[in-house]
Amino acid sequence: MTATQVLVTIIFLVVIAAIGYGIWFVTRRRALRNRFGPEYDRAVADRDSRLAAERELRERERRHAELEIKELDPAARARYTSQWEEIQARFLDDPHGAVRDADALLTRVIGERGYPTGDYEDHLAHLSVEHARTLGHYRDAHEISRLSERDEATTEQLRRAVVHYRTLFAELLGTGDDHAGVPAQRVGRAAPHDTGSRS
């Protein structure tokens, strides 16, 4: 084999390797986008670069793989559904308390499923691996819950918080949103003139 043939062979192998790496890279990126959905775009927006965001998302996958996530048994599912229905039924009389209790109940469900329950940001990171498409609801509910703690949330905001919590709650229970206790329209709706918080 001549030197020219050797050089051509090396160039050919390098090109093939580059194409293979490119295909692997694109496939890996597509898999992250498919798995994390809107959370992928959020991570990219929050980081210095797309590669940094993808490193973080892969790290979330790694940490998630170390968890022992389990499905709820029927008895636990029925118990939590009953508690959720009670929270929604109490909303009209105590919207702030309903939001507080909804947050606490969701945290208990998260813990029983096998997710860490310490830090809110850890909640988000671990939940994002399998529940990225409903995570926006959890974020919105959490923000309203913080407003409620400062007595700055309107009744309509509190109603939306319960609906947001219910979306992730239903997914964690594995029941689907239509079966997570009382339907959304049963949660009290604020009157149009209600712009302040209710205590």
What ranges do the domains of the chain cover? 3-65, 74-186
What's the CA gap between 172 and 77, in Å, rounded? Answer: 10
Instruction: For residue 163, name the pLDDT band (cuts at 50, 70, 90).
Output: very high
What's the CA gap between 26 and 9, in Å, rounded? Answer: 26
* b/e burial code for range 76-104 (CB count within 10 A of at least 16 → b): ebeebbebbeebbeebeeebbebbbbbbe
What's the CA gap between 57 and 129, in Å, rounded? Answer: 8
Instruction: For residue 120, name the pLDDT band (cuts at 50, 70, 90).
Output: confident
Q: What pLDDT was estimated at residue 166?
A: 95
Q: How many CA atoms lie within 13 A of 140 on its CB side?
A: 17
Angle at CA of residue 94, ends 103 and 118, nearest 5° = 15
What's the CA gap between 21 and 27, in Å, rounded? Answer: 10
How do residues 28-38 score in pLDDT, each as one tens digit? Answer: 778 888 888 88
For the residues of 97-109, what is the DSSP string, one character each?
A: HHHHHHHHHHHHH
pTM of the predicted protein model: 0.72
How do residues 171-188 score in pLDDT, each as one tens digit? Answer: 999 865 544 444 444 454
